[in-house]
Amino acid sequence: ILPGLVFSHGTATSITRAKTRLNSGGFLPPQQLAKIQQFAYSCFVSFLACLWITSMRIVITGGPSTGKTTIISLLEAKGFPVVHEQATQIIKEGKFLPWIDRAAFQDEVLRRQLEAEATLNSQGRPVFLDRGLFDGEAYYVYDKLEVPAVFSKLDATRYVMAFLIEELSFFDKNEVRRESLEFTKAISNILEDCYRKRHVSVVRVPALSPAERVEFILQKVEQTQCLPVQPQRIIGTTNTTYISAL
């Protein structure tokens, strides 16, 4: 998925010769100089893209029982760095429970989410998060509770996009999941709004098989990352320089 630069030997030689001519007091025609400038700009853009892509944080969000954890597990199996959901673990511990004290529970979720994201090591690849910082806000909105001011101070630019996993045709209740399919449908719309209003791109993922959902997500990520640049010819060389997405 990561983009790279592929330089032909002829191009490198041509640039070296051009530099030699300039250093020796010669000059380049404006047309050739413009091509060199265009090439340098393309290199710079691709370099910035590499920096952006390798620090990508991508949120997997949605209501309960939509398959988020399965998707995260499959992405992790493919070698992508992931951050697992905090809420489920907190409920299992039993100290903070959303059906007893929503505010205390969400405070703890936010604290742990911030801690987990602070220690991220992307290993040069996009990072997928099972829920993001603004998921908690959606639950305050659903419960008609005052949204804590801390949510307005969080940096939304850390997320380049969010995938909203749409509901399935069934709801799998268990000891930590006590909601309903109707709840999932309602919270999904609120979650989408929480990210969109912060200018985070939201892509809905339909009810497909887990493998198809992962493929869908990776294709969308790749489309977002790619900066297609047409092959260019530099100062008359017959070799072509490519700036491509590998």
Cα separation of 165 and 60, whole Å?
A: 7
Report the chain's mean pLDDT, rounded to a whole number.
79
| Structure confidence at residue 38 (pLDDT) | 75
Residue where the block lists tokens 């799998």 = 172
Nearest to 225 by CA among 18, 28, 50: 50
Per-residue pLDDT tens for 172-221? Answer: 888 878 788 899 999 999 999 999 999 999 999 999 999 999 999 999 99
In the numeric block, the tokens 């000059």 are attached to 27
pLDDT-derived band of residue 25, with 50, 70 and 90 as boundaries? low
Give the mean model confidence (pLDDT) for residues 217-230. 68
3-state secondary structure of 16: helix
Q: What is the pLDDT of residue 171?
A: 87
Give the model's pLDDT for residue 197: 97
Which pLDDT tens digit goes with each residue over 113-164? 999 998 876 666 789 999 999 999 999 999 999 999 999 999 999 999 999 9
Using CA atoms, how far residue 209 sits from 55, 60, 67, 199, in Å, is 28, 16, 10, 29
Contact criterion met (CB below 8 Å) for 131 and 87: yes
Give the pLDDT of residue 118: 87
Q: What is the spatial distance between Cα 114 and Cα 160, in angstroms, rounded to a whole number? A: 17
8 A C-beta contact, residue 151 and residue 193: no
Q: What is the CA radius of gyration of the chain?
A: 24
Local confidence band at 48 (pLDDT 50, 70, 90 cut-offs): very low
pTM score of the predicted model: 0.69
* 23 or 99, which is more confident: 99
What's the CA gap between 19 and 26, in Å, rounded? 10
Counting other chains too, the contacts that 99-103 makes at CB distance below 8 Å and 24 or more residues apart are: 99/178, 102/139, 102/140, 102/143, 102/145, 103/145, 103/148
Which residue(s) pair with 68 in the sheet? none
